Amino acid sequence: MKKISIFASGSGSNAENIINHFKNSQEIMVNSVVCNVADAFVLERAKRLNVHSYVITKSELNDPDKVLKMLKELETDYIVLAGFLLLMPNNIVTAFPERIINIHPALLPAYGGKGMYGMKVHKAVIDAGEKVSGITIHFVDEKYDNGKIILQKRCDVTATDTPESLAEKVHILEYEYYPIAIEKVILNT
Ligand code: GAR
């Protein structure tokens, strides 16, 4: 059984979708949700779905041993980021080579990087007058939104789209493709 720790900072709708996707799997399970925001809604979701959750501070994330020790104890094989705001520190990236996966709500390399998170991304896409946006699923390296791309999917941006309506379109793509992409990566390695 391969084990996933989901790292999230916010609502956690992707986390919930991923947990549900693997709930009856014989090969992959979500063993934990790790969150850096003490009142994030993802923690409610984890509780309701009977998945252990852990709240960590930014300094605990950047401690050379703390989070790695926890992941070792949990026997985590893969880390999946689902709306996680903080940069993954080098020690964790090095310990999980091509075993940390992120989803970004735009077509990287455009609209990525530090501070490009959630609604800010959709607002930037609309403000730039883009006709197309989408999702990027990629491996995580030591820079924001920079690692090898696993999958991209597109959606149209229309003249009447708002950041909120674009977020909805992007979420639909995320729910459809993220769990399958995670599954493919894990079962092929
Ligand atoms: C998702 O759209 C995800 O792609 C995005 O945050 C949202 C979290 O929603 N991630 C980033 O922007 C990473 N740079 P959720 O909490 O409902 O899953």
Token representation of residue 152: 């991209």
Give yes or no for residue 143 having a pLDDT over 90.
no
Token representation of residue 44: 């409610």
Query: Which residues are annotated as catalytic?
Result: 104
Count of CB atoms situated within 10 Å of the CB of 69: 11
Task: Tell me the mean pLDDT in the region 70-95.
Answer: 96
pLDDT reported for residue 112:
94
Mean of per-residue pLDDT scores for the chain: 96
Q: Are 55 and 36 in contact (CB under 8 A)?
A: yes
> What are the pLDDT digits (tens) for 17-53?
999 999 999 999 999 999 999 999 999 999 999 999 9
What does the alpha-carbon distance between residue 189 and residue 184 come to, in Å, rounded to a whole number? 9
* Residue nearest to ligand 1 atom 9, measured at CA: 83
Cα 160 to ligand 1 centroid, rounded to whole Å: 22
Give yes or no for residue 115 having a pLDDT over 80.
yes
pLDDT reported for residue 189:
73
pLDDT reported for residue 64:
84
Cα 62 to ligand 1 centroid, rounded to whole Å: 21
Q: Which residues pair with 54 in a beta bridge?
A: 34
Give yes or no for residue 161 having a pLDDT over 90.
yes
What does the alpha-carbon distance between residue 183 and residue 137 come to, in Å, rounded to a whole number? 12
Cα 8 to ligand 1 centroid, rounded to whole Å: 8
Whole-angstrom CA distances from 104 to 52, 53, 73, 114 are 25, 23, 29, 12
Give yes or no for residue 123 having a pLDDT over 80.
yes
Instruction: Give ligand 1 pocket residues (Cβ under 6 A).
Output: 8, 10-14, 82-83, 103-105, 116-118, 121, 170, 174
Q: What's the pTM value of the predicted model, to 2 decimals?
A: 0.95
Domains of the chain, each with CATH number or no CATH:
1-96 (3.40.50.170), 103-189 (3.40.50.170)
Task: Tell me the mean pLDDT in the region 93-102.
Answer: 96
